[in-house]
Chain A
Amino acid sequence: MEPEVNPDAPAEGAAAAPAPEAHPAWCRVQLARHPKRPHAVDYIQALFTDFDEIHGDRVFGDDAAIIAGMARFEGRPVMVVAEEKGRDTKQRLHRNFGMPKPEGYRKALRAMQLASKFGRPVITFLDTQGAYPGIDAEERGQGEAIARNLREMARLAVPVICVVIGEGGSGGALGVGVGNTVLMLENAIYSVISPESCSTIIYRDRAKAEQAAAALRLTAEDLLALGLIDTIVPEPPGGAQEDPAAAAENLRQHLRACLDQLSAFGPDHLVEHRYVKFRKMGNFFA
């Protein structure tokens, strides 16, 4: 089968620096997709010790677009679940460009339920342009897999901390994104639809993605203002790719604070806390 390259993804090594007059939201989109931006594997290496990957969904296969594993964070045992795009061409193909299939979401859920059963906190990393849109993914129930994760993540009796590290691509990201605390890196984005697709729908023109990016309110500041995330994690000047070690260190501080806070909650309190947090989301009037 031919490699399935999504046109939204920047080419490997492409110059991602936006034009200086670009809209700030579009600059963020470029930074979130920057070819040198640290990925989940980089954060796993920087933040955890004793990482032992666990594979497979026990049903169909092992989806490399999602990494799951047992690890220690500053000595504390945690379960890590992470979307990974891959760096070079070979890895990107192996990881399906970070677009998970149903077996990826099912592996993620298996790992998270394992953590819940044995009282280990869950830390997830969101970084995908979206769940994989393909025939096989549909045949195996992409919608069902994501839906089940949303419901079952709400039931986990342990602290769940989610971090949007790059692209929060719609349901594909949310499928591992139902946390007590949702952190977002300063230059990450989180959106219901990619600016390119939005632009195609509105303007019938992919080239107006910059305008669409602004209209979608997808930056960390936007998400915070809308009450959809809890905290913005600052990045080094110029973006995380300029100093990955510093970016990881910032994240470490935030993760530690979140874990300290949530570890004081009992299982019922954690479930209630997560429920109330998402239950409040919505902007309507009567």
Chain B
Amino acid sequence: MSWFKRDKPAEEKLPKLGNGERRVRTEGLWQKCGGCRQIIWKKDLESNWNVCPKCGAHSSIDALTRLKLLLDRGYRQFDTGLRSSDPLGFVDKKPYKDRLRDMEQSTGLPDAIVTAEGCIEGRTVQICSMEPKFIGGSMGCVVGEKIARAIERAIERRQPLVIVSASGGARMQEGAVSLMQMAKISAALMRLDEVRLPYISVLTDPTTGGVTASYAMLGDLNIAEPGALIGFAGPRVIEQTIRQKLPEGFQRSEFLLAHGMLDAVVPRLELKAYLARALEFLGG
């Protein structure tokens, strides 16, 4: 998008926040951009897929909006009925079962992911889109199972795979069951790799912990949206461990690109066209 390139790069204007979060406050029809701090009419932001029209800062979009952004009209969801059976019987401030129910009410989704088959500029793909608002987009066994099934469908139907990550990592409330989803999904990706089908991993803000340490970093191409927090350990944990301030821009997309960890940083509004070109190249 030309306006985006004309403007200063988004990362220069991003605030330096220790906790690595850029939040946009919701106050009726107007919203303050986390990047430039300007007040933006919410409709302008939404019609621009939550990319600030003034500075280009990317704020989160939900899992279904993401599918709308990337897929041609009409797609089919899978495994919409899968729900966690609360393997630990976990209770923190409230029982995990209640938390799941409340999250389902507030997000309209049964867990932190939507999986679907759809077309990107005419090319059929299996796509997984994470929901950052569902317990921080955390990965429990439903996320693990839905991704594993999406990979198996990709293999069966000889289609490419796209996973859009937005996740704080493995879900604490499912304990080691969550942890093992990392191995389960990575093993499924080994099978996808064996049959030479393309997998493009799209990392969005935030992608950390067990998601970074499994499928998000295993793409044939790993690409990220600008300014996304991406890392294994969270910035707060690192600061506490090393007892020093983190360098500016640490664990942002551009930092990872500079350190050789990403293939490209792609603005949201160019993402669909990029995926279409890449999938064509990879021949999926």
Q: A194-208 vs B: 1/0 string, CB under 8 Å?
A: 000110011000000
- Whether, in the assembled complex, B189 has its beta carbon less than 8 Å from a beta carbon of chain A, the answer is yes
- What is the distance, in angstroms, from A218's C-beta to the closest C-beta of chain B? 7
Q: A81-97 vs B: 1/0 string, CB under 8 Å?
A: 00000000000000000
Interface residues of B in 79-102 (CB under 8 A from A): 79, 81-88, 90-93
B145, A147: Cβ atoms under 8 Å?
no
A284, B83: Cβ atoms under 8 Å?
yes
- What is the distance, in angstroms, from A179's C-beta to the closest C-beta of chain B? 10
Alpha-carbon distance between A276 and B63 when the two chains are bound, in angstroms: 29
- Whether, in the assembled complex, B209 has its beta carbon less than 8 Å from a beta carbon of chain A, the answer is yes
- Whether, in the assembled complex, A175 has its beta carbon less than 8 Å from a beta carbon of chain B, the answer is yes
Q: A112-132 vs B: 1/0 string, CB under 8 Å?
A: 000000000000000000010
Given A143-B231, A192-B172, A285-B85, also A135-B180 (CB < 8 A): no
| Binding-face segment, A10-18, A45-53, A151-159, A244-252 | A151-159
- Whether, in the assembled complex, B186 has its beta carbon less than 8 Å from a beta carbon of chain A, the answer is yes
Q: By CB atoms of chain A within 10 A, which of B84, B142, B191, B233 has the most?
A: B233
Residue of A nearest to B194 (CB): A155
B183, A174: Cβ atoms under 8 Å?
yes
- What is the distance, in angstroms, from A126's C-beta to the closest C-beta of chain B? 12
- What is the distance, in angstroms, from A200's C-beta to the closest C-beta of chain B? 10
- What is the distance, in angstroms, from B199's C-beta to the closest C-beta of chain A? 11
Residues of chain A with a CB closer than 8 A to B92's CB: 201-202, 215
| Binding-face segment, B4-12, B46-54, B68-76, B246-254 | B246-254
A152, B175: Cβ atoms under 8 Å?
no
B243, A284: Cβ atoms under 8 Å?
no
- Whether, in the assembled complex, B274 has its beta carbon less than 8 Å from a beta carbon of chain A, the answer is no
> Among B91, B172, B218, which residue has its beta carbon within 8 angstroms of that of A148?
B218
> Among B184, B216, B243, B250, which residue has its beta carbon within 8 angstroms of that of A282?
B184
A135, B247: Cβ atoms under 8 Å?
yes
B242, A215: Cβ atoms under 8 Å?
no
A178, B187: Cβ atoms under 8 Å?
yes
Q: B241-265 vs A: 1/0 string, CB under 8 Å?
A: 1110011001100000001110000
Residues of chain B with a CB closer than 8 A to A278's CB: 180, 183-184, 187
Residues of chain A with a CB closer than 8 A to B214's CB: 146-147, 150, 171
Number of interface residues of A (CB under 8 A): 56
Q: A150-189 vs B: 1/0 string, CB under 8 Å?
A: 1110110000000000001011001101100000000000
Interface residues of A in 197-249 (CB under 8 A from B): 197-198, 201-202, 215-218, 222-223, 226, 228
Q: By CB atoms of chain A within 10 A, which of B86, B144, B184, B246 has the most?
A: B184
- Whether, in the assembled complex, B273 has its beta carbon less than 8 Å from a beta carbon of chain A, the answer is no
Interface residues of B in 122-171 (CB under 8 A from A): 141-142, 144-145, 148, 170-171
Q: By CB atoms of chain A within 10 A, which of B86, B92, B141, B183 has the most?
A: B183
Residues of chain A with a CB closer than 8 A to B177's CB: 226, 228, 281-283
Q: By CB atoms of chain A within 10 A, which of B170, B230, B234 has the most?
A: B170
Alpha-carbon distance between A192 and B261 when the two chains are bound, in angstroms: 24
A171, B213: Cβ atoms under 8 Å?
yes
> Among A143, A216, A274, A275, which residue has its beta carbon within 8 angstroms of that of B216?
A143
A178, B175: Cβ atoms under 8 Å?
no
B247, A154: Cβ atoms under 8 Å?
no
Given A192-B170, A216-B88, A278-B187, also A4-B241 (CB < 8 A): yes
Alpha-carbon distance between A171 and B180 when the two chains are bound, in angstroms: 9
Residues of chain A with a CB closer than 8 A to B234's CB: 133
Residues of chain B with a CB closer than 8 A to A193's CB: 170, 172
B176, A190: Cβ atoms under 8 Å?
yes
B261, A144: Cβ atoms under 8 Å?
yes
- Whether, in the assembled complex, A19 has its beta carbon less than 8 Å from a beta carbon of chain B, the answer is no
Residues of chain A with a CB closer than 8 A to B193's CB: 151
Residue of A nearest to B145 (CB): A282
Alpha-carbon distance between A131 and B216 when the two chains are bound, in angstroms: 17
Residues of chain B with a CB closer than 8 A to A285's CB: 82-83, 85
- Whether, in the assembled complex, A21 has its beta carbon less than 8 Å from a beta carbon of chain B, the answer is no
Rank and list the top 3 A-B pairs by shortest CB-CB distance, nearest first.
Answer: A133-B233, A143-B212, A150-B186
Q: Which residues of A contact B (CB under 8 A)?
A: 2, 4, 6, 131, 133-135, 137-144, 146-148, 150-152, 154-155, 168, 170-171, 174-175, 177-178, 190-193, 197-198, 201-202, 215-218, 222-223, 226, 228, 274-275, 278-279, 281-286
22 contacts between A and B (CB under 8 A): A6-B241, A133-B233, A138-B238, A139-B259, A141-B260, A146-B214, A171-B232, A175-B213, A191-B176, A193-B172, A201-B172, A217-B176, A218-B176, A226-B87, A226-B177, A278-B184, A279-B187, A282-B144, A282-B184, A283-B177, A284-B141, A286-B82
